[in-house]
Structure formats: structure tokens, C-alpha cells
Amino acid sequence: MKSRIAELRKSHKFSQTDLAEAVGVTRQTITSLENEKYVASLVLAYKIAKFFNLQIEDVFDFSEVEEN
């Protein structure tokens, strides 16, 4: 699933480790999310969106889900 995690993280000048620690996952999970290798659970998506003070749909691209 496409997301704006890398873009938002870089614009806020956070490292992957900072974000990972803030949302309670490993840095590898953040890397996989940014590389679109892994789809976040609802809880993790919520935590990431909350971390950036955004709605889930502002961080994650659900257009593929809507097409299916």
C-alpha cells in the first residue's frame, strides 16, 4: 500500500528510529511500510497518523482498496 510516511517523516525531520519508537514498532517495520512491502494494521496506521496529527487517509493511499 502506498503511503506518505517517508515524505512526512522527512518533512518533520524525524528518523525512522524516532518514528518507530514513537509508534512502538521496530525500525524495519517502518522501512517495510515506506517501501510498500508491508501493510500496516488499523492500530498502527492510526498511531502513525496520530503521530503526524493527520487522518489515516491523509497518510495512507486507499485508492487500490477502493478499486478492488
Partner 1 sequence: MENFRNEMRKKVLMYQSISGFTGLCIIFLAVFNRSNPMNVSDFSRGVQLGIFVGIALVTLYYIGKLKNTLKNEDKLKKLYIEENDERRRLIQDKTGKTTTLIVLFSIPIAIVVAGFYSIVVLITLLVTLLFLILTTAFVKNYYNNKY
Residue numbers at the binding site for partner 1 (CB under 8 A): 20-21, 24-26, 28-29, 32, 38, 40-41, 43-44
Q: Indicate the residue among 11 and 26 with the shorter CB distance to partner 1.
A: 26
CB of 32 to partner 1, least distance (A): 6
CB of 25 to partner 1, least distance (A): 5
For the chain, the three-class secondary structure string (H helix, E strand, C coil) is: CCECHHHHHHHCCCCHHHHHHHHCCCHHHHHHHHCCCCCCCHHHHHHHHHHCCCCHHHHECCHHHHHC
Q: Indicate the residue among 21 and 61 with the shorter CB distance to partner 1.
A: 21
CB of 20 to partner 1, least distance (A): 8
